[in-house]
Amino acid sequence: MKVSKETAIAELKKIVGEDRVITDPEVLKNADVLNRSYAKAFGVYATPPALCVVNAKDTEEVSKVLSYCNDQLISVIPRTGASGGEALLETVNDTTVFLDGSLMNGILKIDEDNMMVTARCGTPLRVIEETVNSKGYTTGHAPQSLPMADIGGLVATRSIGQFSTYYGGIEDLICGMEGVLPNGHIFRIRNVPRRSSGPDLRHILMGSEGGLGFITEVTMKLFPYHPEDRWYGGYKMKNMHEGFKALRAIITAGYKPSVVRLYDKTDMDYNFGSVQMEDEEAFMFFVCEGPAGVVKATGDAIHEIALAHGGNYIGTEAVKHWMIHRNDLCNSYSGDQRYVKFRETQTMYSTTEISASWTDIVKIYDDVIANVPQKCEHLVMLGGHVSHSYINGTNIYFVYRIKMPNPEEADAIHTQVVHAICEEVLKYETGGCVHHHGMGKRRVQMAPKEHGTSYELMKIMKKAYDPNGIMNPGVLVMQEEK
């Protein structure tokens, strides 16, 4: 940083106005509210406090703030809903500005002729979805964090929703966007249906984790919304292996249910508890949506394939229970409920999402369940579920609980578990250790192995778009390699 902290704050106040530069220490301590939350519950704040939070109200302000910070070598962490994990929002120095886009909130246009909705970066996805639902449409994007996340952050983390097997991840749902580069340059990627020239520019800020620029506006696709025509089906499977086989058979035959999930007993018991299962059993379930004829054909085929793979049909009740309660976890993030629970149980819950081919995923599931507890003595629960499937493979959300010896060590112990899972995944040719939460600073050490020889492309990209390294330092590429 070239100027003093006082000068930087004064200059930022000149750009956006006195009231939108926040320096209150309590606000700064919690600018990254969800990360290291176990330690925070005990009053331990280990990351450097930010310089300030700047609440931008429009694209021009974002441009001016970025341009100033770029010139003065001030770190900037873009933020919208603040629901990102993986240490995405953690500061690495005390001269960091949180550039918050929450005030850039609102739907700009719903284009029913061309099935598109345009919203500013700080618009909660819940608002977008409920607004278009009322007109008979859906964005098709339904991450569990729907009640918490905004569209800017969802694009920046390349997020994925619970209905992804039918609609796709956010990369399949974005038409165009407006954004700002660290030097203040404002750009717009127009909403053309397809373009064949060069790499897809939408993908530069998609998944960029705030490390390359700032997304100010997003246009998403719309789909017809027919919740009344949905098909539900739930099956107990002999074990996870049989579940994987059945899922593979359904997806590779070309069927596209919207929800495709397979839970082991540990995960099901902890998160939903709505199905009685024996130790080895798995619970596999589906939701189909779309035009009624497609729904029926898809549901019928799934049922036939599931039974042929030994599935024990248990009806729709547990699936509907999941549909109702699928986002309840978000409620536990409001107020200080989580902190109270941490203090009472001295245990934290977390997840690590990975993906692999149909062949490798089975081995990865077995390896993680067998090996990770041996490497991580503080682990007290480890299970997992499948939630997003593709023609060439699927994902697993590993879920776990860690008994913490003390708050000071909590972050290191959590990271140890995450890395242990990632190491098991990266032993396999098709194993990917970052399915949809972003790598953040927690997993960036895995980036060279995750990307292999293409890691060089990431480093070049970071240097090209953010030559001064001001944007969310520590994501995408390891700091010493930027």
Ligand X SMILES: Cc1cc2nc3c(=O)[nH]c(=O)nc-3n(C[C@H](O)[C@H](O)[C@H](O)COP(=O)(O)OP(=O)(O)OC[C@H]3O[C@@H](n4cnc5c(N)ncnc54)[C@H](O)[C@@H]3O)c2cc1C
* Residue ranges that bind ligand X, judged by CB under 6 A: 34, 77-85, 88-89, 101, 121, 143-145, 148-150, 152-154, 156-157, 159-160, 209-210, 214-215, 329-330, 436-437, 472, 475
- The CA angle 463-467-471, to the nearest 5 degrees, is 95
Q: How far is the CB of 465 from ligand X (least distance, A)?
A: 12
How many Å apart are CA 453 and CA 449, to the nearest integer?
A: 9
Q: How far is the CB of 21 from ligand X (least distance, A)?
A: 18
Token code pair at residue 481: 């390699």
**Chain residue whose CB lies nearest ligand X:** 153
Q: How far is the CB of 28 from ligand X (least distance, A)?
A: 15
Closest CB to ligand X among residues 106, 315: 106
Specify the DSSP element, H or E, that contains 255: none
Q: How far is the CB of 78 from ligand X (least distance, A)?
A: 4
Contact 234, 275 (CB under 8 A): yes
Q: Residue 191: is it exposed, middle or buried by C-beta count within 10 angstroms (0-12/13-18/19+)?
A: middle
How many Å apart are CA 241 and CA 232, to the nearest integer?
A: 22
Closest CB to ligand X among residues 157, 298: 157
Q: How far is the CB of 388 from ligand X (least distance, A)?
A: 9
How many Å apart are CA 5 and CA 74, to the nearest integer?
A: 10
Contacts of 454 (CB under 8 A, 6+ apart): none
How many Å apart are CA 477 and CA 92, to the nearest integer?
A: 14
- The CA angle 384-388-392, to the nearest 5 degrees, is 110
Q: How far is the CB of 80 from ligand X (least distance, A)?
A: 4
Closest CB to ligand X among residues 221, 309: 221
Instruction: Give Cα 311 distance to the centre of its chain.
Output: 31
How many Å apart are CA 182 and CA 73, to the nearest integer?
A: 11
Closest CB to ligand X among residues 35, 266: 35
3-state secondary structure of 432: strand
Closest CB to ligand X among residues 77, 410: 77
Question: Within 182-312, where are the H helices?
Answer: 202-205, 240-252, 265-271, 292-308
Closest CB to ligand X among residues 84, 140: 84
The amino acid at residue 331 is N
Closest CB to ligand X among residues 230, 338: 338
What is the 8-class DSSP label of residue 50? P
Q: How far is the CB of 46 from ligand X (least distance, A)?
A: 19
Q: How far is the CB of 50 from ligand X (least distance, A)?
A: 12
Q: Say how many C-beta atoms besides its own lie within 10 A of residue 130's C-beta.
A: 11
Closest CB to ligand X among residues 148, 251: 148
Closest CB to ligand X among residues 35, 298: 35
Instruction: Give Cα 455 distance to the centre of its chain.
Output: 21
Q: How far is the CB of 447 from ligand X (least distance, A)?
A: 14
